[in-house]
Every structure is written in C-alpha cells, then in structure tokens.
Amino acid sequence: MPVSSLFIFEIPLPSSNVHCFSHISTISTVRLQMNLFMQGLQVGGISYLHSLYQMPSSSGQPAHGKKIGHRGVDASGETTYKKTTSSALKGAIQLGIGYTVGNLSSKPERDVLMQDFYVVESIFFPSEGSNLTPAHHFPDFRFKTYAPVAFRYFRELFGIRPDDYLYSLCNEPLIELSNPGASGSVFYVTKDDEFIIKTVLHKEAEFLQKLLPGYYMNLNQNPRTLLPKFFGLYCVQSGGKNIRMVVMNNVLPRVVRMHLKYDLKGSTYKRRASKKEREKAKPTFKDLDFMQDIQEGLIQYFLFFLSHLGNAFQHVSIFILPK
C-alpha cells in the first residue's frame, strides 16, 4: 500500500533589519535571498511569513459559543470569522476576485513600478447590485485588492493565467477545510486543489505588503526560489469588520492521505505529542516523538523506504515550511 509521510520543519532564524530593501540593489543574489528569507521568516521574534504560509493542523473546530482567535461557530453550527458567516465570506471572496481580476485583464500589461506595491483598489458590492457589480444574497460588503498590478505580475511569473485563476477560484464553490488548526484562521481550498485561501491578521497583511518590493526582486533574480508563492492579497469589509486574506499555492492536495505526520521545530522543550493528540485518528507528532520513533535519523528513514517499499517511495511527500 502506498505510504505518505508529512514532515513539517519549522526553522527558527535570527531577526534582521526590516529596512534593508533600500539597499537591495547592491546585494548579491545569494545574500538577497538569505536577507529576504530571514526578514520574512522572523521579525522581532514573530514569524509572520511562516504564519501566512502555515498549513492547517488537526486541532479541529471550536465548539459553539467558543472562539479560537477570530474564528468561531454560530448557533447553526456554521463557521464564522469576525462574526461573518463562512458562506457569506466565501461568496464575497468569489465576487470580489471575479470582479478585480476581470477588470485588471482589460488593462494593458506594463512594467511594475514602485508605487504599484502600495496601491489598494476598492469596490462596493451592495446586495441589490450596481452598474459595476451584480446583485447577490449576502450582506453589503466592500472588497479591497492590494497591489493588483504587482500580484498580476507574480501570477504570470508563476505561470498562472488570468482565466485559469478565475476558473479555479470563482467557477466552483470554495471548500472550507474542516481542521483549520489553532491559529484562529479560516482556510478555503479550490475544488481543483490548485489554490488555498487563508485569513490573516492585519499585521500579517501589512507585513506582506511591505515585503512585496523585495519579493519582486527575489523572484526576478531567483525564478526557481523556494519562497512561498503568493497570488493575491485581499480584504472583505463587512459589518464594520476587515477580513484580510491571502491566496497561495496549495501544497497539500486533499486526495493525498497522510499516514504519518511530524511537526518538527528543532527543539525538545515540551515537544512531545499530548495524550489527547495521540488518541486522534491522525495525530501530529513532535520532535521527541520523532527522536524516539526514528532513531536512525531522517536519511536512514527514507533509505528504508527506498530499499523496502520500491515504487511506494514515490508517494512519500516531504514539505519544509520555514519558521
């Protein structure tokens, strides 16, 4: 039987100056990538970029009346985020992205300018519709698009055509992941498993926008970079609340069954899966569990797969998510 394993490595890196982009043109390609990596991964001890790219875990949904961060559950059992129901949020996301990407496609392509990284476009979606927007059955909302020209360039660089992006995100209902983890975020994945949408905090969205000039230069100098792929940054304003979200590539297709999961941080302090976690059908183990279960180390572990499982080795999945 094919076996799939998931190892999530969280690599702590020292803090670095967030203002070094003003000197970015004088930095070598290798130094640039390392600076960007260190900047994005940890600033002031808070791993913003990792938080943006963090995958769902197995912590589950909060019970009715309880909240994890901004995520909660209403009386009907539906997920809410900042008191906006998941169905309304999904509808707003699809209407907003459909409008903004379609509108941008009608504009001629051009070089990305520095000011493009700081542009925020906004469009109001009244429920009765307008001359620019269709009618809908959700509460009125405003949809904001951050750096639309810059993200269009990123999508093109990653080989994402506008019609494919729209088809994946807007043609079929978004699927809410049932085990979003303890971050308090809500995750949606497209039906074709191409894209994942994650709600993010204000400070995370703000940090990503500030990171865009360096991200742009890094992608141009390192087209095969292993940095996360960001395709769009958006905000839904509804009921007096701002709900920000980022669209990324989905690295964990829902059809892949994970038989074994380790969340490794490189630390042994309180890094053993709890009894409650171990009782789950699909537990996520930690560093001390890994040291106990795979004493020969990671290389020997995969050599075992290669020598004993033959073709099953191609089904092993390794994902390294930096922290």
pLDDT tens digits along 93-116: 999 999 999 999 888 999 999 999
Range with lowest mean pLDDT among 7-21, 52-66, 130-144, 161-175: 7-21
What fold, for 56-249? Phosphatidylinositol Phosphate Kinase II Beta (3.30.800)
Q: Which residues contact 230 (CB under 8 A, 6 or more apart)?
A: 52, 151, 154, 208, 215, 246, 247, 248
Region 44-48: what's the mean pLDDT?
33
Contact 138, 127 (CB under 8 A): yes
Structure tokens, 293: 């279960």
CB 42 within 8 A of CB 298: no
pLDDT of residue 234 exceeding 90:
yes
One-letter amino acid at 247 equals V
Beta bridge partners of 232: 247
Which of the residue ranges 54-63, 180-189, 229-238 would you say has the lowest mean pLDDT?
54-63
Kindly tell me if the per-residue pLDDT of 186 is higher than 50: yes
What is the value of pTM for the model shown?
0.72
Task: Note the pLDDT of residue 293.
Answer: 86
Which pLDDT score, from 0 to 100, does residue 190 have? 96
Contact 35, 8 (CB under 8 A): no
Distance (Å) of CA 102 to CA 45, 108, 152: 39, 12, 11
Q: How confident is residue 30, by pLDDT bands cut at 50, 70 and 90?
A: very low
Q: How far is CA 126 from CA 50, 135, 142, in A?
A: 35, 7, 8
Average pLDDT of the chain? 78
Q: Where are the domains of the chain?
A: 1-23+253-323, 56-249
Looking only at the bridges linking them, the beta strands covering 5-9 and 260-264 are: parallel
91: number of Cβ within 10 Å: 20
Contact between 68 and 62 under an 8 Å Cβ cutoff? The reply is yes
Q: How far apart are the first and last CA of the chain?
A: 33
Identify the pLDDT of residue 19.
33
Q: Is the pLDDT of residue 69 over 60?
A: yes
Q: Compute CA distances 278 → 47, 59, 260, whole Å.
A: 27, 12, 12
Distances (CA, A) of 172 to 160, 192, 264: 18, 9, 35
pLDDT more than 70, % of the chain:
71
**DSSP type of residue 21:** G
Q: How confident is the model at residue 181 (pLDDT cuts 50, 70, 90)?
A: low
CB 151 within 8 A of CB 195: no
Q: Say if residue 53's pLDDT is above 60.
A: no
pLDDT in tens, 146-159: 999 999 999 999 99
Under DSSP, the state recorded for 296 is T
pLDDT grade for 296, boundaries at 50, 70 and 90 = confident
Helix axis angle, 86-105 to 162-170, nearest 10°: 160
Mean pLDDT for the stretch of residues 278-288: 89
Q: Give 308's pLDDT tier (boundaries 50, 70, 90).
A: low
Three-class secondary structure of residue 160 per DSSP: coil
Percent of the chain with pLDDT over 90: 50
